[in-house]
Each structure stands twice: as C-alpha cells, then as structure tokens.
C-alpha cells in the first residue's frame, strides 16, 4: 500500500545562500523517498533585515503555498515533528553558504609539507587565507604578532609535526598566536583548529586554549611526510565554520536549534555526497561535481585514492563578483563572447550583480554577460582545483582535466533546465572534460541538501538519486587531439534500442549531436584518427559501449584539449556562435 505523503517520515532541507534561501521537502511516496517540491525566497542575510531565519521562513511559506500543507505555526516557528493533521515535518537539516569569506591564518612547520596541507584543508570551506606562518617565515615574532593584530583572522588552522615527532618547533610557531590572541579583545579572538602532532594536544590547549574563541582538534592531517589525511579534519572544520557563522549571521542559531544541530556548510555537504557517489559508482574514472553560486565556486571530486573538496569564494557570482577582476582581465572574460560586447557592458554587469545578487538576466545581452562571468570564474576555479587532484588519477595527459564520469553541475549559473545547451557549453568551455562522460544537471540544487540529509537518514539520498530528480543532459565525447580545422578526427555510430542507427563524422573545431532521449540507452562504436585519444590510448576507439541519453543526446566536442580559441576576435566570435547554435542556443 502506498505510504501517504503526510504520514511518511518527512524531511525538510533548508539551504541558506548569499542570494536565495531554499526550502526542499523530501517525503515517502509509494514506499520510497522522493523529492517533493522546493520553495525559494531572497536571503535576508544583509540589510535591512539582517536575520537569515526570516528568509528561511519566507522560503518555507513559499513551499507551504505550493503544497497546501502547513509547516509553520502561528508564531512562524517550524512545526516539529509532523502532526496527526498532516502539518509539520519530521526532521530538518540546514546548509549554509551565506556570509563573508572567513579570514584565516594558516600555520605549518614546513612550507611545502604541512603548510601546504593546511592550505588544502582551509580551501575546503568558505575561507580566505589572509596570512601564513611556517618555520621558514623570515619575520620576527613581533612582526608576526603585528600582522595577526592588523588582520584579525576569524580562524587559525595549524598543522605540523609528524605523529611522535619533535614538539619544540611547533611550540615556537604557537607563541606569536597565543600572544596576539591575548592582546585582541575577547570578542575578536579567532577560533583555532589544531590538526598536527597529536602528542602536542595538551600543550596546545595550555598555550592557546584560553585565548581562542573556540579550540578544536582533529587527527593529524600529515601523520608522516609522505601521507596526507585531510577528510577527518574537514569534518571538524565544518563544525568550526558553523560556530563562526552562528556568531556572524543573526538567526542561524534559530535554524540550527530547529535542526537539532544538523547544520553543515553547503560545500562540505556537497563533498560528502560526492564521496558517497564515488564509492557507489566505483569507476576507475573520477566523479566531478561543480557548483557555481552567488557565494562561491565549489569543486568536489571523488577518486579511487582520495576525495578533493575546494570552495573558492573569490569566484562567487554574487556581491563579490567585481573581485573576479583581481584574478583575470576584462579581455579574458570577453574572449568567451559570441557577441561584440564593449568592455564597459561587462564591467557594469559585474557591479550591478554585486548590488543585486538575486536578479536574473532580463535581456539577451545580460544573459550573455552572465554566462561570460560564470565561464571565466569556473575556468579559473578548475585551474586551481586541478593542482590538488591526485597524481594517480586517470589522465589522458597530466596537464589536462582527469577522466571523470559522471559530471554533475549545479548552482544558479549551471542548473537552468530550460537552457541545457547553454549550461553544457559553459561546462565544456570551463571544465574542458576529456574522454567519454555522462553529464547531469542538478536542476533543483539538491546535492548539498542530500549530503546534509545523509546525517539523519542515509537511505533518503540513495532513493532520491534513483528517482529522476536530476536532469540528464546526455553523454559527451571529447577527444584529446590537435589537427587542422575541418580535418576528420572521429567517426561514430550509435545503435538504438529499436535497432535504428545514426552516425557522425566529427571534424576538428566543430560540435555535433546525435539524438538519444532521456531514459533511453544505446550502444556506441567510435573510430578515432591517429593521435586522437578518448581515454583508451592514442588512435584507439571503442566498440558497442553502452551509453545513456538525455536532454541533448550524445554530444561530440571536436575542439581539442586544451581548448584553443582563435586570436582574431571576429573569427573567434564566429566560431563561438556556431558552437552555441550547435547546442541549441540563440
């Protein structure tokens, strides 16, 4: 007998973003968990309200209006658990990405060892590294203290000392931190995470314990010189981040209370879901998730040997968007444009979007500029993330993106299901995937919510993923090849379930599509030209490989890797327009 949607074990997930707050309901339908609906409202992190709980209530109200189901009581508090009359929900989880990047001081013994590990750990959350300290630091202790007092970091991440190793050097690094914290007003003292030699825990507690706003410990992220173990520290850092945010964002403590403490940084929740999925797929290729939202660009990748989580607040598409120009130029942004846009149009968009992060493009030109900014931001984020992908990943070339399958794309800039061609072109240009992969749009931005839901119900994410809540764009084939423009680089034939066939002769510099509908599977046979590589070695094709369809079918990207755009502006715009048309764009 089908379980009632109002008597099942329901779960509400709230995502507090920089621009929007979303409320998504998951419930039991016909005996399995399903994504039911989502309500959204502008976030209220900034003036005039400055209380994130108000935006959350508005998002829940929007969800109530969709479902005709009461979730808030007369005092606008969440009804927990669900009641016999069908009102309320049984559980709540919260993810949060809103708020300024957390100013962080990273500390490690050796610059190329523990300090590098501390940097990688810090980049797993919404942080901005404002200073670093190591034994190689040429500054005097008083200069280090002055720097801490001037920068006033919200957080200090300390790594160093192999397990059982020497302790004196670590103590030397801790002294300036303790003295600086002592000199700071109590309410301005940083939170401290120690992820070094576990034998030093009591000494760290004695040196900085009373001088930190909160003191956290995790297992050593560098237990030996040749071993790095970051995931346990990421979990502790996530809890630390939420505590900092509760001080910074009024109303978050209310939401956390409703959730019973089940609040996570959005990026960490996404990383948790990627780790789970990479274990489920068990593919020799990696699994990639990219999320481009108002607060940050988040890259999460799962490999056989490790997982990588990167949050880059400097590439968010919201109020920090003008800061993109600190990492690139207007010319670099405009190189992606199929329209002849003046630089001033891009500059004006960046500043307008910073003022009104929740606005959506109103004209074709606005949409084009939004895509340019998103493409350049995600391109830069991928370049940074690639530094930390494991060396034993499945590569065609170490200088290119590793082989990934599937690739999951989310965030406002990528997940628009009404424009799958534009989303895919943005992904192909910025991520520049190689080989054969399935591309999935997280059209409801569920990845982080499912990652958070797993903390209270580990069956729910599995069943929701299998229910079709994500949009399959289809299969992409991206050969790594260098050739003359127009030269044949690949021949492919798709055999459909009904016995029909379709074929393509891919020319270098073009994008081609063969139809294969969502929910359908087919078999593909590919022959490649000499030197071309789709993941099986140069010149080696594949026979009768099972592939899945999607909104666009099978997309062949014959533009080579790395993508080399023509230097001539007119020729470049002409090609960009052709590629846009090939994927159904205007």
Directed axis angle between helix 364-386 and helix 420-430, to 10°? 40
Query: Is residue 213 located within the same domain as residue 297?
Result: no
Assess whether 92 and 109 both reside in one domain: no
DSSP character for 314?
A: G
What's residue 209's pLDDT?
83
Nearest CA to 427 out of 319, 289, 533 is that of 289
4 within domain boundaries: no
262: in domain: no
> Nearest 10 degrees: CA dihedral of 459, 460, 463, 466?
-120
Q: Are 109 and 205 members of one domain?
A: yes
∠ CA 330-419-341, rounded to 5°: 25
DSSP per residue over 460-502, as a string? HHHHHHTTT-SEEEEEEEE-B----TT-EEEEEEEEETTS-EE
Q: What DSSP line would sit under 393-438, residue for residue?
A: S--SSTTSPPPEEEEEEESTTT--TT-HHHHHHHHHHHT---EEEE
Q: Could you give the count of Cα atoms lying within 13 Å of 545 in the half-sphere of its Cβ? A: 23
The pLDDT of residue 5 is 39
pLDDT for position 413: 83
Angle of the 141-151 helix axis to the 168-183 helix axis, nearest 10:
50
Last residue of a domain, one of 248, 277, 301: 248
Q: In what order do the strands lie in the sheet with 471-478?
A: 307-312, 297-302, 286-292, 404-410, 435-441, 471-478, 553-557, 511-514
Q: How far apart are CA 275 and CA 315, in angstroms?
A: 23
Nearest of 72, 58, 87 to residue 258 by alpha carbon: 72
Q: Tell me: do 368 and 499 sit in the same domain.
A: yes
Are the CB atoms for 375 and 367 separated by under 8 Å? no
Residues 121 and 158 in one domain: yes
Element (H, E) at 281: helix 266-281
- Is residue 428 situated within a structural domain? yes
| Same-domain pairing of 362 and 448 | yes
Cα distances (Å, whole numbers) of residue 393 to 228, 437, 462, 488? 16, 15, 26, 29
Would 39 be classed as within a structural domain? yes
**Judging by DSSP bridges, how do beta strands 215-217 and 191-194 pair with one another?**
parallel
Rg (CA), the chain: 25
DSSP-derived letter for residue 252 is: H
Residue 260 lies in a domain: no
**Could you give the CA distance from residue 586 to residue 577 in angstroms, rounded to a whole number?**
8
CATH number of the structural domain spanning residue 21? 3.30.420.40
Question: At which of 36, 66, 96 does a domain end?
Answer: 96
Rounded to whole angstroms, the Cα distance separating 144 from 293 reads 35
pLDDT of residue 8: 56
Same domain, yes or no, for 231 and 302?
Answer: no
How confident is the chain (586 residues) per 10-residue block, as mean pLDDT?
Answer: 50 96 94 94 94 98 96 95 93 96 93 91 97 92 95 94 69 88 93 90 85 92 87 95 96 97 97 90 90 95 92 94 95 94 92 86 86 96 95 94 96 81 95 97 95 91 89 96 95 96 97 95 96 96 96 97 93 95 82
Q: What is the pTM of this model?
A: 0.93
Q: Give pLDDT, residue 237.
A: 97
Does one domain contain both 221 and 279? no
- Could you give the angle at which helices 114-122 and 231-248 cross, rounded to 10 degrees? 50
Distance CA 443, CA 420 (A): 10
**Contacts (Cβ under 8 Å, ≥6 apart) of 507:** 485, 486, 487, 488, 489, 558
Please give the tally of structural domains in the chain: 3
Position 198 in a domain: yes
DSSP codes joined into one string, 172-200? HHHHHHHHHHHHS-GGGPPEEEE-S-GGG
Rounded Cα–Cα distance for residues 72 and 249 (Å): 22
Q: What is the pLDDT of residue 3?
A: 39
User: In sequence order, what are the beta bridge partners of 409?
Assistant: 290, 441
Predicted confidence at residue 466, as pLDDT, reads 84
b/e per residue, 526-561, with b = 16+ CB within 10 A? bebbeebbbbeeeeebbeebebbbbbbbbbbbbbbb
Q: Which of 96, 124, 143 is the last residue of a domain?
A: 96
Q: Are 27 and 37 in contact (CB under 8 A)?
A: no
Residue 174: per-residue pLDDT = 87
- Pair 127, 49 in one domain: no
Q: Which domain does 109 fall in, by range?
A: 102-248
Q: Does the residue 253 lie in any domain?
A: no
- Helix/strand/coil percentages in the chain, nearest 5: 35, 25, 40
266 exposure class (CB count in 10 Å sphere: 0-12, 13-18, 19+): buried
471 and 518, same domain (yes or no): yes
Work out whether strand 471-478 and strand 307-312 pair parallel, antiparallel, or are unpaired. unpaired
Whether residues 295 and 175 fall in one domain = no
Residue 497: CB atoms within 10 A of its CB come to: 11
- Helix count and strand count (H, E) for the chain: 15, 22
**Residues 388, 310: contact at Cβ < 8 Å?**
yes
Q: What is the rounded (10 degree) CA torsion for 262, 264, 269, 275? A: -80
Q: Which residues contact 105 (CB under 8 A, 6 or more apart)?
A: 129, 130, 131, 132, 133, 148, 151, 153, 155, 156, 157, 177, 190
- Report the CATH number that the domain containing residue 138 is assigned in CATH: 3.40.50.360
The reply to whether 346 and 233 lie within a common domain is no
Closest-CA residue to 358 (of 55, 61, 54): 55
Distances in whole angstroms, Cα of residue 174 to Cα of each of 54, 115, 178, 214, 497? 41, 14, 6, 16, 66
Give pLDDT, residue 255.
98
**Separation of alpha carbons 117 and 335, rounded Å:** 35
256 within some domain: no
Q: Give the DSSP H/E element, type plus range, for residue 554.
A: strand 553-557
């Amino acid at each position: 007998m089908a379980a009632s949607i109002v008597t099942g074990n329901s779960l509400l997930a709230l995502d507090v973003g920089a621009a929007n707050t979303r409320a998504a309901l998951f419930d039991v339908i016909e005996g399995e968990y399903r994504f039911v609906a989502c309500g959204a409202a502008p976030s209220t992190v900034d003036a005039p309200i400055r209380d994130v709980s108000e935006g959350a209530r508005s998002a829940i109200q929007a969800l109530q209006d969709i479902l005709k189901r009461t979730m808030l009581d007369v005092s606008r508090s969440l009804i927990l658990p669900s009641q016999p009359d069908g009102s309320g929900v049984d559980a709540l989880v919260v993810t949060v990405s809103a708020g300024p990047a957390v100013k962080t001081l990273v500390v490690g013994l050796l610059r190329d060892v523990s300090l590098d590990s501390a940097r990688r750990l810090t980049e797993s959350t919404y942080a901005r590294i404002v200073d670093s300290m190591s034994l190689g630091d040429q500054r005097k202790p008083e200069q280090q203290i002055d720097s801490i007092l001037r920068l006033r970091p919200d957080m200090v991440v300390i790594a160093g000392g192999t397990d059982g190793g020497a302790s004196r050097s670590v103590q030397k690094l801790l002294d300036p931190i303790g003295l600086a914290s002592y000199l700071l007003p109590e309410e301005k003292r940083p939170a401290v995470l120690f992820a070094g030699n576990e034998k030093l825990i009591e000494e760290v507690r004695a040196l900085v314990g009373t001088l930190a706003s909160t003191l956290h410990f995790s297992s050593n992220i560098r237990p030996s010189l040749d071993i790095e173990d970051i995931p346990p520290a990421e979990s502790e850092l996530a809890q630390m981040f939420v505590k900092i945010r509760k001080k910074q964002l009024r109303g978050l403590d209310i939401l956390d209370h409703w959730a019973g403490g089940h609040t996570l940084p959005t990026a960490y929740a996404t990383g948790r879901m990627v780790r789970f999925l990479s274990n489920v797929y068990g593919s020799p290729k990696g699994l990639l998730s990219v999320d481009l939202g108002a607060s940050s660009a988040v890259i999460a990748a799962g490999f056989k040997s490790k997982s990588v989580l990167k949050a880059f607040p400097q590439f968010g598409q919201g109020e920090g968007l003008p800061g993109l120009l600190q990492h690139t130029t207007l010319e670099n942004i405009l190189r992606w444009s199929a329209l002849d846009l003046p630089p001033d149009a891009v500059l004006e968009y960046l500043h307008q979007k910073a003022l009104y992060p929740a606005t959506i493009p109103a004209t074709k030109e606005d949409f084009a500029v939004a895509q340019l900014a998103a493409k350049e931001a995600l391109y830069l984020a991928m370049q940074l993330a690639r530094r930390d992908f494991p060396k034993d990943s499945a590569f065609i070339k170490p200088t290119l993106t590793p082989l990934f399958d599937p690739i999951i794309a989310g965030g406002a800039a990528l997940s628009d299901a009404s424009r799958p061609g534009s989303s895919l072109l943005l992904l192909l240009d910025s991520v520049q995937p190689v080989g054969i992969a399935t591309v999935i749009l997280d059209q409801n931005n569920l990845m982080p919510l499912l990652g958070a839901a797993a903390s209270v119900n580990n069956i729910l994410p599995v069943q929701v993923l299998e229910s079709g809540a994500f949009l399959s764009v289809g299969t992409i084939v991206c050969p790594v090849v260098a050739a003359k423009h127009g030269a044949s680089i690949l021949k492919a034939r798709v055999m459909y379930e009904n016995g029909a066939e379709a074929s393509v002769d891919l020319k270098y510099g073009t994008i081609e599509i063969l139809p294969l509908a969502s929910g359908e599977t087919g078999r593909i046979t590919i022959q490649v030209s000499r030197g071309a590589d789709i993941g099986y070695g140069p010149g080696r094709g594949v026979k009768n490989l099972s592939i899945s369809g999607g909104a666009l079918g099978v997309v062949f990207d014959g533009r080579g890797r790395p993508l080399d755009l023509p230097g001539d502006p007119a020729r470049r715009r002409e090609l960009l327009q052709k590629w846009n048309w090939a994927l159904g764009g205007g």
